[in-house]
Amino acid sequence: MKIANKKVTAERLVKDALAKAKHFEDYHIFTFIDEEGALKRAREIDAKIAKGEDVGRLAGVPYALKDNFLSPRGETTASAHILEGFTAPVTATSVKKLEDEGAIMIGRTNLDAFAHGSSTENSYFGPTLNSHDRERVAGGSSGGSAVAVALDIVEFATGTDTGGSIRQPASFNGIYGLKPTYGTISRYGVVAMASSTDCIGFFTKTPEDMDLLMSVASGQDPKDMTTLPDYYNTEAGAKSDNSRLAPSRPSLRGSGAHSAPVVADGLESSDSCTRTIGIIKEFDNESVHPEIRRALKEKCELLKKKGHEIVELEMPALKYGLAAYYILVPAEVASNLSRHDGVRYGFRSDKAVDVDSMYGETRSEGFMPENKRRIMIGNFVLSSGFYDAYFLKAAKARTLIVEEYAKAFSKCDFILTPVSPNPAFKLGEKVDDPVAMYLEDVMSVSLNLAGVPGLAIPAGETPEGISLGLQLVGPRRSDKALLEFAKELE
């Protein structure tokens, strides 16, 4: 990425980004653009550069912020009516880390309200258009961020991935999108969706840029108890280019609510750079778009030519990942979104006559239909009488999925699979059919349930010019190795 220096000023980089944002205004990428604030910040950085001061590893780099990250610059709405008017009094740890290194936020990007969706059509502000075909969806939920990077408006954008919300829009727009290992980047100051699967990550045009951002943003945060000690910037992470991943990992079976500590998947030294790549048998059938199957086959051939080995994996429990996901995540959503009640911040309905109607009217007017579906499903699967049949059953299915990944990574170093069964679909095609929309997540959600990292990589286009993407999946804490290996697939 272009970093500001004495020759290329931060002001120039920011002005270019702002001009491009304006040029692509009708794609509905941004919910807020901070021209004045971004230029002010750029001039401050240029002044420091002129004085020869340290300006950081991301000096003057314009970026776009998914509108579910808190920062006092602009309202944080999560593209939901219920958060309209909410200007955060705190800054997300991830935002602070990026800005401490000199990155400049030029605007906030559109998403499916509260990150509930796979197309960015569930936004209160209307859908973002696909970067390659304006009649198609951007993907979601981080659709605005993906399109901002794909159209080259900014060098990178932030995203959140609870079940595919970074990887799927990245693949729908032909760029890189990383969902790191669960707990790699602090979630402090990011609007919560489902706390046991929410991950912070990025969109970039190259694996190298992603590596830089990961090295800036990773690490333990006292404000988020579920952050891992920094593994990304340690020696084990850095050695990934000449190491082989550990052949086995301890099982999470029996972890329960108070999970026993699990030893991380380490990286073992080896002289060989060749890898074993697993292909999931259950994801290679008629239900997957022929162009995606072709792209997967081509990448496998490329890897074989480079001396890597391809093995077929049987992962029968993954088939149930989507059903488990759409039980566990709504349950967490129902809990996390109960805080939006019109009392302390955001929108409050004028129809309120007493405190009960304040809750009811505010939440009814403030949430999008998909938010309501998920909250109600969450309350359904948690209700007495249904808890064992749905929530507990799904939590057990999650154990089987975790074990299935553990088994898979005893046979291969990485897994290469589609991100979604179809490339970007037409606007309006699935928005009124929740189950059809959910089915687009069938290949992405199991990673979140298992906590493993996944990198969406570009994989060409269909003959009509629609972007194709695949995802590279690794064991926990293999994020650096994943990015390193992604270069083999370019």
Q: Which of residues 210-269 bind another protein (CB under 8 A)?
A: 222, 225-226, 228, 252-264
Name the residue nearer to another protein (CB basis): 293 or 393: 393
- What φ, ψ does residue 222 adopt, rounded to 5°? -60, -20
The answer to the question of residue 360 lying near another protein (CB under 8 A) is yes
Backbone φ/ψ region at 83: left (φ over 0), alpha (ψ -120 to 50), beta: alpha
CA 73 to chain centre: 22
The answer to the question of residue 36 lying near another protein (CB under 8 A) is no
Of 165, 240, 243, 446, which is the active-site residue? 165
Return d(Cα 199, Cα 489) in angstroms, integer. 24
Binding mask 383-412 for another protein (x = CB under 8 A): x-----xx-xxxxxxxxx-x----------
Q: What single DSSP character describes residue 450?
A: H
Mark whether 141 is an active-site residue. Answer: yes
Mark whether 243 is an active-site residue. Answer: no
Name the residue nearer to another protein (CB basis): 89 or 290: 89
Residue 280 corresponds to which tokens in the numbers above? 């999931």
User: Do 119 and 438 form a contact (C-beta atoms < 8 A)?
Assistant: no
- Please identify which residue in 20, 32, 57, 196 interacts with another protein, judged by CB under 8 A: 196
The answer to the question of residue 274 lying near another protein (CB under 8 A) is no
Nearest-approach distance from CB 431 to another protein, in angstroms: 12
Residue type present at position 225: M
Mark whether 467 is an active-site residue. Answer: no
Residue 102 corresponds to which tokens in the numbers above? 């000199």
Scanning residues 5 to 34, which ones bind another protein (CB under 8 A)? Answer: none
Scanning residues 420 to 449, which ones bind another protein (CB under 8 A)? Answer: 433-435, 438, 449
Name the residue nearer to another protein (CB basis): 269 or 435: 435
Name the residue nearer to another protein (CB basis): 415 or 470: 415
Return d(Cα 222, Cα 214) in angstroms, integer. 18
- Would you call 85 helix, strand, or coil by DSSP? coil
The answer to the question of residue 344 lying near another protein (CB under 8 A) is yes
Q: What single DSSP character describes residue 384?
A: T
- Would you call 463 helix, strand, or coil by DSSP? coil
β-pair partners for 484: none
Binding mask 91-110 for another protein (x = CB under 8 A): x-------------------
Q: What single DSSP character describes residue 92?
A: -
Backbone φ/ψ region at 150: left (φ over 0), alpha (ψ -120 to 50), beta: alpha
Residue 233 CB coordination number (10 Å): 13
The answer to the question of residue 363 lying near another protein (CB under 8 A) is yes
Name the residue nearer to another protein (CB basis): 294 or 407: 407
Nearest-approach distance from CB 119 to another protein, in angstroms: 16
User: Do 193 and 170 form a contact (C-beta atoms < 8 A)?
Assistant: no
Residue with tokens 């080896």: 270
Quick one: which segment of 103-111, 205-213, 289-297, 315-323 binds another protein (CB under 8 A)? 315-323
Name the residue nearer to another protein (CB basis): 133 or 404: 404
Of 34, 164, 172, the residue nearest 109 (C-alpha): 34
The answer to the question of residue 90 lying near another protein (CB under 8 A) is yes
The answer to the question of residue 339 lying near another protein (CB under 8 A) is no
- Please identify which residue in 3, 178, 193, 375 interacts with another protein, judged by CB under 8 A: 375
- Please identify which residue in 323, 387, 411, 460 interacts with another protein, judged by CB under 8 A: 323
Catalytic annotation, residues: 66, 141, 165
